[in-house]
Homo-oligomer: A and B are copies of this chain.
């Protein structure tokens, strides 16, 4: 059942002993949403805990402490979770059929919960959570402000992506007024590279190649590079944005070698190129400016396949 904001707030007022689930591989928005909701519920006299299937990266420690181990609950909520699969394997088994309220901003939400509060126009789930907090009559304190600001900035690439709306900016303004530590949060989220990631990026960028008269830039990340840099797949996502940044590049491609020798392809484009179309031709998909697919190795063949598909698309333009 799809419910509106007021019904969701009414539901929260009626219930107690909440367990709030984030999605697996947690990011700033799912965690910011979960902890902000927890603090707001506590502010109106309820009990609430946050739980995530995966270990929460240390950089999010300032958001709060999740419940480790067994955690009794009366009402189960999921935030920023579009599909029960995204809860993580263990949590899917434990909780998938027991979620009474899901609060989400993904248009692709599978409506798995008893009640779903969905706002696909929200850049971050935190936007919906802040509206709930307002309706609960809670004045955001510094802890809540840090959580909400974290979701707003991380899900918009620091207010850069096309999902940003005036509401996103105004909510960020309000959170700064409520003492969110915006400068430190952005430094940690966007300006800090682990030493191992920095080493990996250096190796990968050193091997960047240009194709199609500079319209297509390709970066390759090999298993050997992970070994040499001490990095691993958990850190590689940020590299995908680099090849597109070169002036004149329409399509930026990152090939990541898997342990089985196949390649995971990430494509990023500048408008009007639609990389989700290019990736669909190779059995993948995604968004117009960010998509992906898989291609078999070895590297030379994989690169050729990808560049050939980019070429076909560009020639048709």
Contacts and interface: CB of A to CB of B under 8 A. Distances in A.
Interface in A146-182: 158-162, 164-170, 172-174, 176-177, 182
Interface stretch (A6-14, A96-104, A224-232, A245-253): A245-253
21 contacts: A158-B158, A158-B159, A158-B160, A159-B172, A159-B186, A166-B173, A167-B173, A168-B173, A169-B169, A169-B173, A170-B173, A173-B173, A187-B270, A191-B241, A191-B244, A192-B245, A198-B245, A198-B246, A198-B247, A202-B205, A202-B206
A174 B183 contact: no
Interface of A: 158-162, 164-170, 172-174, 176-177, 182-184, 186-187, 190-195, 198, 202, 205-206, 214, 241, 244-248, 270-271
B195 A246 contact: yes
Nearest to A177: B166
B246 A193 contact: yes
Contact of A193 (B182, B187, B247, B271): B247
A245 B176 contact: no
